[in-house]
Amino acid sequence: MKIAMIGAGYVGLVSGVCFSDFGHDVICVDKDPAKIDQLQDGVIPIYEPGLSDLMAKNVAAGRLTFTTDLGAAVDGADAVFIAVGTPTRRGDGHADLSYVYAAAEDIAKAVTGYTVVVTKSTVPLGTNRQVKQVIRKAAPELEFDVSSNPEFLREGAAIDDFMKPDRVVVGVQSDRAAQVMQDIYRPLYLRDFPILLTDLESAEMIKYAANAFLATKVTFINEIAALCERTGADIKQVSKGMGLDGRIGNKFLHAGPGYGGSCFPKDTSALARIGQEHAVPMQITETVIRVNENIKTRMIEKLRDLCEGSFNGKIVAVLGVTFKPNTDDMREAPSLTIVPALVGGGAKVRVVDPQGMREGKDLLPGVSWLEDPYKAAQNADVLVILTEWNEYRALDLKKLARKMAHPRLADLRNIYSAKDAKRAGFTGYVSVGRQDYLG
């Protein structure tokens, strides 16, 4: 099959690389010439484990190319995937669909034979029908179908998620489009991964409902964590006890500083807007959005307590600022709320992150970037673990405590325990949903 992938970001690039690994001929298009130059030089512009090698393998096999020329890429393709961004629109919380519609129009102008235009971007209900109209208007004679194929991969585990998905959701309106989509995903179908064929609206809804549900689960456990702190319960034991219930499951039950990332915040916001537009308020989702914001504020207050009531003049070392480990993505990361509060309160903030600096240096003004946690801890008043990179799971706590002016640890991912911290010489320790001690 010949596939064109419009948008070579986290989703487009991973999908394009994986489709080429299935044996398809893939051309990835991006309007950002710098990105395409890098890709043509064999450099991936994002951090995603395993992606570089898989890309090199398929480029060498002649199945994967990159271009800025959308017109040349889409003509003759069996399917054209739209994988451009759908960020939150300024002002109203809705998904900004301008990139999707612009891509649809460009595709319509360039394609001459039958193709399936597949929306992989996360888009609100009705968008695929709108894409169809945009194309129909720009190319009234064109033979084509549209398909909704939302993506569920997680950054940091994207290749595995794409190659071994829990399911592939494909919304279609015709048998012809269904056949093309089944042929594209045949390697997965042959390995018994479920391919769920639906109508367009259901496919669109599945993506928002799934993300809102996961955001709810995270937020629920974060709220229970706050109650644990007040009542003496331990959230780690509570999560374990809940997660062992097969009806609940143990995923997305880890208490922390609130969800962030490129999907949950914008998708919950878009779902809330869709509900309002249809006069069916998404009350649970609206509450989740509000509670998640409060959780970040709660974290700031915890840090303030650890700093004896004021950040002013304190040296704070922050480990991890990406929204989760194994990605360089900073979009909506809790660090973007918490670190500015520290800086704004007069703290001197040192930041360490294995991959976050490239994105983060413009987003977090007024901090200094270091590479080594132990150097960052030198003479510091507080050490904060904000993202649970593997590098921070086995820190030498004694060494850290010895280096600090006031050895106090804010472990916002519950990696260590009050006992570990005390034994290592920390005089203060706070975490999420467990008993703190403030020396």
Which residues are identified as catalytic? 263
Taking CB under 6 A as the binding criterion, the range among 96-104, 235-243, 332-340, 387-395 that sits at the site for ligand NAD is: 96-104
Tell whether residue 185 is a contact of ligand NAD (CB under 6 A). no
Tell whether residue 121 is a contact of ligand NAD (CB under 6 A). yes
C-alpha 159/C-alpha 393 separation (Å) is 24
| Pairing state between β 115-119 and 348-352 | unpaired
User: Total binding residues for ligand NAD by CB under 6 A?
Assistant: 28
- Return the structure tokens found at 180: 């093309």
Please say which residue, 78 or 155, places its beta carbon nearer to ligand NAD: 155
Taking CB under 6 A as the binding criterion, the range among 7-15, 134-142, 181-189, 279-287 that sits at the site for ligand NAD is: 7-15
Please enumerate in sequence order all residues whose Cβ is within 8 A of that of 277, keeping only pairs 6 or more positions apart, or say none: none
DSSP 424: H
CB 318 within 8 A of CB 335: yes
CB of 350 to ligand NAD, least distance (A): 28
Tell whether residue 84 is a contact of ligand NAD (CB under 6 A). yes
Taking CB under 6 A as the binding criterion, the range among 147-155, 185-193, 228-236, 359-367 that sits at the site for ligand NAD is: 147-155
Please say which residue, 28 or 409, places its beta carbon nearer to ligand NAD: 28
**Torsion angles phi and psi, residue 216, rounded to 5:** -65, -40
Secondary structure of 243-312 in HEC code, one letter for each residue = HCCCCCCCCCCCCCCCCCCCCHHHHHHHHHHHHHHCCCCCHHHHHHHHHHHHHHHHHHHHHHHHCCCCCC
275-283 long-range contacts (CB < 8 A, ≥24 apart) are: 282/212
- Contact with ligand NAD (CB under 6 A) among 54, 55, 64, 83: 83
Taking CB under 6 A as the binding criterion, the range among 151-159, 184-192, 344-352, 384-392 that sits at the site for ligand NAD is: 151-159
Please say which residue, 21 or 155, places its beta carbon nearer to ligand NAD: 155
- Return the structure tokens found at 416: 């260590």
**Torsion angles phi and psi, residue 309, rounded to 5:** 95, -10
CB of 308 to ligand NAD, least distance (A): 39
Tell whether residue 85 is a contact of ligand NAD (CB under 6 A). yes
Please enumerate in sequence order all residues whose Cβ is within 8 A of that of 180, keeping only pairs 6 or more positions apart, or say none: 1, 78, 79, 116, 145, 147
Tell whether residue 271 is a contact of ligand NAD (CB under 6 A). no
CB of 392 to ligand NAD, least distance (A): 22
CB of 22 to ligand NAD, least distance (A): 19
- The residues binding ligand NAD (CB under 6 A) are 6-12, 29-32, 35, 70, 83-86, 99, 102-103, 106, 121-122, 151, 153, 155, 262-263
